[in-house]
Structure 1
Amino acid sequence: MLKIGCHLSIAKGYTKAGEDALAIGANTFQYFTRNPRGGNAKALDEKDLATFSRLFEENGFAPLFAHAPYTMNLCSDKEEVREFALRVFQEDLERLRRLPPSYYIFHPGSHVGQGVDKGIEYIVDALNKSIGADNEVPILLEGMSGKGSEVGGRLEELRDIIQGIRHNRQLGILVDSCHLYSAGYDVVSDLDGILENIDKTVGLDRLKGIHLNDSKVAFASNKDRHEVLGEGTIGKEAIVRIINHPKLRHLIFNLETPNELEGYREEIAYLRKNYVEEAS
């Protein structure tokens, strides 16, 4: 079964987001753990959580994607920004222990001119302060497009972060079709080669999820510009090859295309129609 969803708001609660997901044919969804441009998270509504947990179980949802806010930069050149990011990371991990299964996804950060090595050093330090041997929340580093001073635009950078973490059993990666293509990994013409590269550097066993997006910009442009499926430079055929690839088809996919609910419904229906179920 295709595990597919999209990014949904939890402003009106997890239950409402779950109902929206079901209404558009999704069996998972992604949400921000707090305001993506803000700071403090809203208190959890225990009644809403109980209702959503039942909805989650009764409808066979796949694990969700819990996305950290964009303001969380673990490798900033400013100490106060790094301290804020560390607090957010630790608070989010604690919250996720109370929710139905979710992968915690975050952008590694921006080194702001300090250099990739320094950025990775800061990220590794923060994760080692936050991830204990008893951690059971899956944490995914998102691969980036390589714009500006982003860390994570190269697979080797994701590898170096993971290898620096003492308790990395639950640490993996998430790739984004738009980010990969923009970072110079040709998902259109060389998907098999990219997967071999992932396996050699990070390990395919650590690849746990995919953001499915078309791209507004050209290959290797190092720009992060998502597009509706079929209207960008990647195209629907390449996206369909991704969801059906034998090394990827079991993963969880979420759309971050520039859409409202009806647009997501259409994209999910298209992907389900073009997903080839394995013979039993």
Structure 2
Amino acid sequence: MEYLLQVKIGALIGLLFLTLLFGFIPARVKWFRDTNGTEIHRTVLSLISCFAGGVFLAACLLDIIPDYLSDISAELDARKVETSFPLPEFIMAAGFFTVLILEKTVLNCREIRGAQEERAPLLAESRNGHSHGAATSSDLESSGHHIHVDFQAHSPFRSFMLFLSLSLHSVFEGLAIGLQNSESKVLEICIAILVHKSIIVFSLSVKLVQSAIRPMWIALYILVFAVMSPLGIAIGISVMEAQLAAGALIQAILEGLAAGTFVYITFMEILPHELNSAGKQLLKVLFILLGFTIMAALTFLG
């Protein structure tokens, strides 16, 4: 048991440092933060964003949702809960509507106070040189810029919700390591999570940089996200001795809410933001497919 504990602590430290390394590459490299680059520079950044969108799509459909449905089904079966009502899907929908209601409430409060931050891109060119929303058809035809139909794309609020849902999922990934009782299984799961999370945190960092969030907050987000899986490992180690009767059910419900949150962010923010913009549509789809394929291959390999 002592050696097993050492392996888990090693996995905890490895996850922490590798996540920090990949997370701070887009945040610290000036190239990713340059908002006045050439057209080629903007195109490359857009394609990287599309790749990240494919990564998040795969994480949503092949990782987060299947994990949640498996866990909640196991818990309902264990408790002999039988109902014709699709309870697992309803919990996920609750997560979706929670984010939708929160976001629209925040935006409505800003409008009531007369705040202009969210509406400013409708009148002027944004910081990254992209025109937004309220332009005439002639403006759209004559402009060579990256036009977004989604007025609130990459807003700080949505980026925070993306960070929150991914962080919660990372805790559950860490729990999977912390609750194992064999060294080989700990190493197997840890290696899979290391590869998976390195791509995820890089993509998350790209999205945070594009949201024009202050560098200090980006660093804090990445630091907190990096701590989530190690935190899950620590919690898993702690609860191996003191198991709560309702602990697994509570975890499954939280996973469902996180899954619903992630569905909202993936299909209402990340993908529409890129696919509703003009120019190089097929190339963007190719990069979304590339990100999805890489994550699908990692999932297939276990």
Fold shared, TM-score > 0.5 on shorter chain = no
Give TM-score, length-normalised by structure 1.
Answer: 0.24
Greater share of helix residues, 1 or 2? 2
Structure with greater contact order relative to length (CA < 8 Å, sep ≥ 6): 2
Greater C-alpha radius of gyration:
2
